[in-house]
Structures are given as C-alpha cells and as structure tokens.
C-alpha cells in the first residue's frame, strides 16, 4: 500500500492508502476525500479529480498525459503549474504521493 496525503485548502490533512497500479483519484474516491469526485471514472472527460501536486513531488508524479492539459481548462478551480488530474497519477511504491486537494469545503470528511 502507498500513502497518499491530501491537504485541504484549510490545511486539514488526510492520508489514504492507495494500491500500486491504482490512480490517486481512485484512492481518494474510495476513501471519500472531499473535493475529488472522479465523475468520469478516470477517462479524462470531467476534470472533477483536479488537484495540486506538492512541488516537492511534482517531478515524481510524472508529466501530464496527452490531452490532460486541455481537460484541465474545464476545471472548476484555478489551474496552476502544479495542477494535475489525479486520475492520471499512478503512485508507485517508491513514491508516497503528496497532493493538495482543491476542495473548497473547510475540512476533509473521512478519516479512516
């Protein structure tokens, strides 16, 4: 299992366990992380999985996938340099991904 840390806009943190091969979005949705919806199931058709990857991990999260940039343009929140579709990030055992959720809610809702 891989630890994935989500940080809400108010600074609240939640760590979820992801399985190798699954996306960051899948781990977030499985644990009910607020602000990560994953409406299209990861087929890059919705941008409801938008997150900001911590700068320290940006290089290890990989480059944006083909078409990801265009889909990010429809994200509800500001698109920044570190914006990613979390469905396109596949954390490996070597990388404990560190994502900043774009949730506008004051706190993350699920603490497993």
For residue 55, what are the CA distances in angstroms to 9, 18, 24, 41, 106? Answer: 16, 20, 16, 26, 22
Q: Are 107 and 12 in contact (CB under 8 A)?
A: yes
For residue 60, what are the CA distances in angstroms to 6, 69, 74, 91, 98? Answer: 16, 18, 25, 9, 10
Which of 84/98 has CB closer to ligand FES? 84
* Cα–Cα distance, 111 to 101 (Å, whole number): 15
Decide: is 91 part of the binding site for ligand FES (CB under 6 A): no
Which of 42/91 has CB closer to ligand FES? 42
Which of 48/101 has CB closer to ligand FES? 48
Decide: is 85 part of the binding site for ligand FES (CB under 6 A): yes
Decide: is 45 part of the binding site for ligand FES (CB under 6 A): yes
Which of 2/42 has CB closer to ligand FES? 42
In the three-class reduction of DSSP (H, G, I as helix; E, B as strand; rest coil), residue 75 is classed as: coil
Decide: is 44 part of the binding site for ligand FES (CB under 6 A): yes
User: Which residues in this chain contact ligand FES in the complex, by CB under 6 A?
Assistant: 25, 38-40, 42, 44-49, 71, 85, 87
């Amino acid at each position: 299992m891989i630890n994935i840390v989500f940080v809400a806009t108010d600074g609240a943190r939640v760590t979820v366990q992801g399985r190798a091969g699954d996306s960051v979005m899948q781990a977030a949705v499985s644990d009910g992380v607020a602000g990560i919806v994953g409406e299209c199931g990861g087929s890059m058709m919705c941008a409801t999985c938008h997150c900001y990857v911590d700068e320290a991990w940006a290089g290890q999260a990989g480059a944006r996938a083909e078409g990801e940039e265009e889909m990010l343009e429809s994200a509800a929140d500001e698109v920044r340099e570190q914006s990613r579709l979390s469905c396109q990030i596949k954390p490996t055992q070597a990388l404990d991904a560190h994502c900043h959720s774009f949730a506008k809610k004051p706190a993350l809702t699920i603490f497993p």
